[in-house]
Chain A
Amino acid sequence: MVANQKISNCEQVWREISNYVDGDVDAALRSTMEAHFRTCQRCASVLAGTRNVMQLYGDERMLEVPAGFSQRLEKRLENRLMPGASGGASRWSSWAAWLVPVAALALIAGGLKLANTLTFKHPAKSILAAPGHDIPPDLVVVVSTGSKLFHVPGCAFIHDKATERTLTAKEAIQDGYVPCSRCLRQYLKTGLTGHSGAEIAGEEAEEQQELLSAAGVK
């Protein structure tokens, strides 16, 4: 520390700048540095930049975890608590142990195939889950907090309009949003096989009625 010493040049300021922002310099050095920042533009910019770095990286939003991280951690802890579940090898013979995931995969694959070829009574979920087809990547769309859908600006089905945020369709899809089945229906329809427009329209009307009655509107 350069206590009680006149700061004569920028190098000395740079050396102490990190301690300065941490409040880890004595009063004399602090006031000398403050005086320097008032007159030296370069050091003032280094100080502002350092604070900017700390503010940005210190933000909660910088702490991202991979998709499914929390569930996997929770599962791992649960398995430890129930030895029967994690100690699979002792209860299952090895062929049965690998058969389970294989069977699960087969079921999932089969289920997807079916979903694509059959008409279900309520296909709405799979429509929502579809990433959408031929949506112009540069289309301006809006998203809002608390919903994983993206919409054409002005769509009546945007939740919590106060938190609206504008971005392009491409970014929205990259960020994991899926298209709204109302305002972006034209794009979803092209991606569907085995569903006629009329069916969808009928379901939409039904759904809309449900939404309205849930909201207490007759």
Chain B
Amino acid sequence: MALKNPEQTGARERDLISDVQRGQHELFYELVRPYERRVFAAALAILRNEQDAEDAVQEAMLKALANIKQFRAEARFSTWLIQITVNEALMRRRRERTVAMEGLDGHRSGRGDEEREYAPRDFADWREIPSEALERKEVRLKLAEALGTLDRKYREVFVLRDMEHLNIQETAEALGITVASVKTRLLRARLMLRDLLAAGWEQGWFSRLPFEKGNKPW
């Protein structure tokens, strides 16, 4: 995550944390604001519904505030917030899981296809999607849709690791799974997304994009 001046930001954050811990609760929103989009993405990956995800984030932030004194400076504040949010979201999903279907692809429902080899497809015509394409809402939507088609065990790991930039260990702890599982699922998620985007390219998802700054071959 590219922050403009990490050291300064870090110092400001540490000050804010101790102010809030000493009771200046009105500063809490300022403290969480830089991470609100990340915690929302984490909740959305688990709950798959914007309204539920937003409720979970609000509740999680209230819990974080209530427990702010337990935050220890050795941890990253962003990771701490994400973990609280993931817990809240997982708890809500479990509560709703009385609906039979969901149990079928639960975390502990055997290893299933996770252990099987995944062979990435061979594409004759594949081209890289430049990150400038993300300026376009339709591209972001296509990417979000592709992510949404993954099984949740892959999606959750991928979001925490590659979108939230948690490390492998943190991802494992947040989801309550082993490091080995994180690695296997992450591999699978990355390869499946690669295939989905490459297939999308073949189907012309990205071909109608205007040529930004002139010379992009695609």
Mask of A43-75 contacts with B, CB within 8 angstroms, 1/0:
001101110111111111111111001101110
Question: Which residues A11-61 have CB closer than 8 A to chain B?
Answer: 11, 14-15, 17-19, 21-22, 24, 42, 45-46, 48-50, 52-61
Query: Are B120 and A14 in contact (CB-based, < 8 A)?
Result: yes
CA–CA, A19 to B128, complex, Å?
A: 21
What residues of chain A have their CB less than 8 Å away from a CB belonging to chain B? Answer: 11, 14-15, 17-19, 21-22, 24, 42, 45-46, 48-50, 52-66, 69-70, 72-74, 76-78, 80-81, 165-167, 171, 174-175
Most chain A Cβ neighbours within 10 Å, of B57, B168, B194 = B194
Query: Are B62 and A15 in contact (CB-based, < 8 A)?
Result: no
B92 at the interface (CB under 8 A from A): no
Stretch from B5-13, B94-102, B103-111, B135-143 that touches the partner? B135-143
CA–CA, A133 to B110, complex, Å?
A: 56
Query: Are A18 and B187 in contact (CB-based, < 8 A)?
Result: yes
Mask of B64-80 contacts with A, CB within 8 angstroms, 1/0:
01000000000000000
Whether A64 touches B1, Cβ cut-off 8 Å, given contacts A14-B117, A15-B187, A54-B162, is no
Query: Are B54 and A57 in contact (CB-based, < 8 A)?
Result: no
Whether A63 touches B162, Cβ cut-off 8 Å, given contacts A50-B191, A53-B197, A76-B58, is no
Query: Are A53 and B29 in contact (CB-based, < 8 A)?
Result: no
B152 at the interface (CB under 8 A from A): no
Cross-interface CB contact of B163 among A48, A62, A80, cutoff 8 Å: A62
B131 at the interface (CB under 8 A from A): yes
CA–CA, A58 to B118, complex, Å?
A: 23
CA–CA, A112 to B120, complex, Å?
A: 56
